[in-house]
Amino acid sequence: MTVIGWIQVLLYCAIVVALVKPLGWYMTRVFSGERTPLTPILRPVEVGLYRIGGVDEKREQHWLTYTVAMLLFHVGGFLIIYGVMRLQALLPFNPAGQSAVAQDLSFNTAISFITNTNWQNYGGESTLSYLTQMLSLTPQNFLSAATGIALAVALIRGFSRSSMRTIGNFWVDVTRCTLYVLLPICIVYTLFLVWQGVPQTLGAYVEATTLEGGKQTIAVGPVASQVAIKMLGTNGGGFFNANAAHPFENPTALSNFVQMISIFALGAALTNVFGRMVGNQRQGWAILGVMGVLFLAGVAVTYWAEANGTSMLSALGFSGGNMEGKEVRFGIVASSLFAVITTAASCGAVNAMHDSFTALGGMIPLLNIQLGEIIVGGVGAGLYGMLLFVVLAIFVAGLMVGRTPEFVGKKIEAREVKMAMLAILILPLMILGWTAVAVVFPPAVASMANAGPHGFTEVLYAFTSATGNNGSAFGGLTGNTFFYNLTLASSMFVGRFFMIVPAMALAGSLAAKKSIPPSAGTLPTTGGLFVGLVVGVILIIGGLTFFPALALGPIVEHLAMNANTLF
Amino acid sequence: MLREIRPAILILLLLTAITGLAYPLAMTAIAGAIFPRQAQGSLIEKDGKVIGSALIGQEFKDDKYFHGRPSATSAPDPADPTKTVSAPYNAANSGGSNLGPTSKALKDRIKEDFAKLKTENPAAPIPVDLVTTSGSGLDPDISPEGALFQVPRVAKARNLPEARVQQLVTEHVQGRMAGLLGEPRINVLALNLALDEVSK
């Protein structure tokens, strides 16, 4: 670890924190339907969409209607992706002549993109046409992100409203989020990326004759426009197989730094939206504080582990850390930092191969996802995930002092705690359940690229990433098999929607409650005590649930590495 | 609930058209006009022929060129399309080795490269980037130490004084951005092009 490395980490944190208030202010106005600087340009488009779509923007929805609208929206999204992938050989914008994508792989990819996971069982440049990338994947990058944010805003309304039956209108929330928040940022961001060297062309792959006279086919494409939203919307599905490690997706140290900021920007700002909407910005900062504590702890461990390197490298006298799977332009610190960010948020883009990280360096990304991706988290999903833990923490605190727990003026009662627990228990069910099946099913075991505990970690990471809708991978695992295409798709689906439905039920039941003013017996939820309590609950739940599995994977591998045992 | 079906179809189609066609196509047009070189992939031409991209590493094996890092990319086996064969710096199929810290295969590979590099320059310590594969398999850069390590071999193969080659290396070091972000590095293709100019 170096001083300049830590300066980069702290500079990163400072910029993310500095963006929280302005973005929070802007998004609060967007979702409250107030005027914004972009209203004169975008309002006519918005009104046109509502008119054609038959949406009455004044009519709000009950939580159940809101959820059904969201689900219907995703059925259509699924069909578009699946259809375009199956038909890509017949459709235009296919200069590389890619053939139709197989049924199970198309199914997996369609689920992957509607759930904001962007798990890639395909290699972008070797499987997909430009049209598939643009027309089927890019829109779901926008819309699954907009959905996540819409749901978070709906849950915030649950907290901020009093005695109401409705929590907003899904169509309005999704449309406004796409038009006012995601698109304008992506337009500027795309141009920045092209300036840095990310291609944006519909031209065919380039045939080059190298300096030594060899042939090199260089894959290009409309890359920048997709990379912009894949980062901002915490989607993470790369245009290329190597994702953000590919020099065409992430050419410079500056593009890397901005990409890292864009992963956290909206998720962090949503804590401020929460604070503003419940009428107490300090409440938003307290939640961001919980995230910050867990984040910095993760960065410290991964950075330390990667800088320390592996025993096989030090045995041969190498210094300079574990550079296997990392790019020279990013080095140890920017690769470690990126890995922690992308898994703390539910992004899943990678600028270094997590499979080649040291045992402990790779365990932190795994643990980040297992804790529920609540450290900033996916846009929207992170906040509603975190609020579920807050409900639980408040409940535990209430039990300790023997009073009915309350949070931002809402009594937390049996129904709320049940819904929060239901949502939280979905994660381990899919992760541990499918991992257990995979490690005793011979065709699934055959997909492992590494032997020993590392192979087990590859499988555990795959189901963790899919269920958490992250999308990063221990990439050695051959995921494009019938077994993994289906089981991972089921994990992604359940991990996304079986968490959303209880969260929306929670929103509905909270909105219907009366707001009560704080009394002398109310636990203050903006201070260090609250932050400590929530961090504790997150670590206890995550730790108790996943420690046995981690002990079989990264922990035993770390011990084996120190004993110079190879597999 | 039934009235949600119409927007579920129409709002989806309209937003898909905006974000999936209008947005990427407009960005392609604008980016192509403002940054034509980058938008096409930062290609380098020599005598009217494309010799590569400034951002994409390519394979160098000749002693007279600086070598990039090992690359783990692969290509379909021409004899059997269901299998793959090693194809370093395959820019149509990026990827890393994905070998973990306790992988015997990784140790064998590193030991082999280590032995080869030791014979080339026994005196200097070997920089770690010269024996590890990058995440993309297309890393265009090596560390400044990685280039300096190769100076004796390149100078000998080209009959140039070592000091001259070393000077060229030093000139090609790209520092941290604003002295802060990223790591110092050298673009191998750019260095080799300059080397060819000097030897002419």
- pLDDT tens digit sequence for A485-509: 999 999 999 999 999 999 999 999 9
The mean per-residue pLDDT over the stretch A411-440 comes to 93
Q: What pLDDT does A401 receive?
A: 82
Closest C-alpha to A369, from A119, A555, A157 = A119
Cα dist. B26→A61, A87, A180, A357, A445 in Å?
Answer: 35, 24, 18, 39, 46
Q: How confident is the model at residue A345 (pLDDT cuts 50, 70, 90)?
A: very high
Q: What pLDDT does A230 receive?
A: 95
Contact A553, A439 (CB under 8 A): no
Closest C-alpha to A379, from A151, A68, A169 = A151
* CB within 8 Å of A219: residues ≥ 6 apart: A96, A125, A205, A240, A248, B91, B92, B94
Contact B96, B179 (CB under 8 A): no
Contact A458, A476 (CB under 8 A): yes
**Interchain CB contact of A310 with B (< 8 Å):** yes
Q: For B83-117, give one letter per residue: b (16+ CB within 10 A) or e.
A: eeeebbbbbbbbbbbbbbbbbeebbebbeebbeeb
CB atoms < 10 A from the CB of B118, how many? 13
Contact A221, A125 (CB under 8 A): yes
Q: How far apart are CA B127 and CA B49, in angstroms?
A: 34
**Looking at A212-352, which runs of residues are DSSP E strands?**
215-218
The mean per-residue pLDDT over the stretch A67-87 comes to 94
This prediction has a pTM of: 0.96
**Interchain CB contact of B69 with A (< 8 Å):** yes
pLDDT of A519 strictly over 90: no
Q: How far apart are CA B13 and CA A140, in angstroms?
A: 11
A–B interface: beta-carbon pairs under 8 A:
381
Q: How far apart are CA A271 and CA A24, in angstroms?
A: 8
Residue with tokens 């990439």: A475
Q: Per residue in A113-149, pLDDT tens?
A: 999 999 998 888 889 999 999 999 999 999 999 999 9
**Looking at A137-285, which runs of residues are DSSP E strands?**
206-209, 215-218
pLDDT of B1 strictly over 80: no
Q: Per residue in B121-164, pLDDT tens?
A: 999 999 999 999 999 999 999 999 999 999 999 999 999 999 99
Q: How far apart are CA A532 and CA A5, in angstroms?
A: 28
DSSP, collapsed to helix, strand or coil, labels residue A477 as coil
Q: Per residue in B165-192, pLDDT tens?
A: 999 999 999 999 998 999 999 999 999 9
pLDDT of A284 strictly over 90: yes
Closest to A356 (Cβ–Cβ): which among B20, B98, B185?
B98
Name the percent of chain B lying above pLDDT 70.
100
pLDDT of A378 strictly over 90: no
Q: In what order do the strands lie in the sheet with B185-187?
A: B141-142, B185-187, B173-174
| Nearest-10 crossing angle of helices A224-232, A183-196 | 130
Greatest Cα pair distance in chain A: 80
Inter-chain residue contact A194 with B104, CB threshold 8 Å: no
Contact B127, B186 (CB under 8 A): no
Q: What pLDDT does A43 receive?
A: 96
pLDDT of A467 strictly over 90: yes
Inter-chain residue contact B134 with A203, CB threshold 8 Å: no
Distance from CA of B163 to the nearest CA of A (A): 24
The mean per-residue pLDDT over the stretch B59-79 comes to 94
Q: What pLDDT does A371 receive?
A: 92
**Dihedral of the alpha carbons of B70, B74, B75, B79, in degrees to the nearest 10:** 100
Closest to A224 (Cβ–Cβ): which among B7, B31, B189?
B31
pLDDT of B69 strictly over 90: yes
Q: What pLDDT does A148 receive?
A: 94
pLDDT of B196 strictly over 90: yes
Q: What pLDDT does A404 receive?
A: 81
Contact A375, A281 (CB under 8 A): no
Distance from CA of A527 to the nearest CA of B (A): 34
Q: What pLDDT does B3 receive?
A: 85
Q: How far apart are CA A368 and CA B131, in angstroms?
A: 30
The mean per-residue pLDDT over the stretch A270-283 comes to 94
Question: Which token pair is B5?
Answer: 């079906």
Distance from CA of A237 to the nearest CA of B (A): 14
Closest to B135 (Cβ–Cβ): which among A201, A242, A309?
A242
pLDDT of A347 strictly over 80: yes
Strands B74-76 and B49-53: unpaired
Q: How confident is the model at residue A542 (pLDDT cuts 50, 70, 90)?
A: confident
Question: Which token pair is A547?
Answer: 């420690």
Contact A324, B128 (CB under 8 A): no
Q: How far apart are CA A199 and CA A193, in angstroms?
A: 8
Closest C-alpha to A95, from A122, A123, A132, A121 = A132
Contact B59, B29 (CB under 8 A): no
R_g of chain A, CA atoms, integer Å: 23
**Interchain CB contact of A203 with B (< 8 Å):** yes
Name the percent of chain A lying above pLDDT 70.
100
Q: How far apart are CA B121 and CA B114, in angstroms?
A: 11
Inter-chain residue contact B182 with A205, CB threshold 8 Å: no
ipTM rounded to 2 decimals? 0.96
* A191: region left, alpha or beta (phi > 0 left; psi from -120 to 50 alpha): alpha
Q: Per residue in A184-206, pLDDT tens?
A: 999 999 999 999 999 999 999 99
